[in-house]
């Protein structure tokens, strides 16, 4: 399912098949003053990219069907300059391998974190890669 927070300000794209985890990250983004859009899989993420250009992407690595590695490949070909945070609850070795693969794909700004994503790590990433927020935005709204 595709969710969108309508705004002209910079948006964070969250790609995660687990709704509760995506909603938690979106709530933190909102707390820090950033709007968020959720895609529940890489295919939905591609549709989001057709509608807007997120200022940053946070993606789960392990998802059913088209997984996070395929997602990294898509992001590298469609928007290699966009900062990407890769998150997974899998072993750290998988995060390291995914980071190296993302670099080989051509992504230029990669951060890797273990799930669950901590507020401090998320805030540091967002403040590093995005302009300061203007005003708080809705966490998410569903796109029909």
Domain boundaries, the chain: 8-132
Q: Using the structure block, give the residue that is written with the tokens 């072993």.
A: 91
Residue pair 53/79 in contact by the 8 Å Cβ criterion = yes
Helix (H, G, I), strand (E, B) or coil at 5: coil
pLDDT(121) > 80: yes
pLDDT(141) > 80: no
- Model pTM? 0.86
With cut-offs at 50, 70 and 90, classify the pLDDT of residue 140.
low
Work out the burial of residue 128: count CB atoms within 10 Å of its CB; fewer than 13 is exposed, 13-18 middle, 19 or more buried: exposed
* 12-16, 43-47, 112-116, 129-133: segment of lowest average pLDDT: 129-133
What is the arithmetic mean of pLDDT over 132-136?
Answer: 67
Q: Using the structure block, give the residue that is written with the tokens 């302009």.
A: 131
CATH tag for 8-132 (out of 3.40.50.10420, 3.40.50.2300, 3.30.70.260, 3.20.20.70): 3.40.50.2300
pLDDT(5) > 50: no
What is the arithmetic mean of pLDDT over 82-95?
Answer: 90
Work out the burial of residue 60: count CB atoms within 10 Å of its CB; fewer than 13 is exposed, 13-18 middle, 19 or more buried: buried
**To the nearest whole number, what is the mean pLDDT of the chain?**
87
Scanning the chain, the segments in alpha helix (DSSP H) are: 19-31, 42-51, 68-78, 92-105, 119-129
pLDDT(89) > 70: yes
């Amino acid at each position: 399912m595709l969710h969108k927070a309508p705004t002209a300000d910079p948006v964070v794209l969250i790609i995660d098949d687990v709704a509760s985890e995506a909603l938690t990250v979106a709530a933190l983004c909102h707390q820090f003053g950033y709007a968020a859009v959720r895609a529940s899989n890489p295919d939905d993420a591609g549709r989001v990219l057709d509608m807007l250009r997120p200022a940053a992407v946070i993606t789960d690595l392990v998802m059913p069907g088209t997984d996070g590695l395929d997602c990294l490949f898509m992001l590298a070909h469609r928007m290699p300059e966009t900062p990407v945070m890769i998150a997974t609850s899998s072993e750290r070795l998988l995060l390291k391998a995914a980071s190296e693969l993302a670099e080989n794909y051509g992504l230029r700004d990669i951060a890797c974190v273990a799930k669950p994503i901590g507020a401090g790590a998320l805030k540091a990433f967002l403040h590093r890669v995005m302009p300061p927020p203007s005003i708080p935005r809705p966490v998410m709204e569903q796109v029909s």
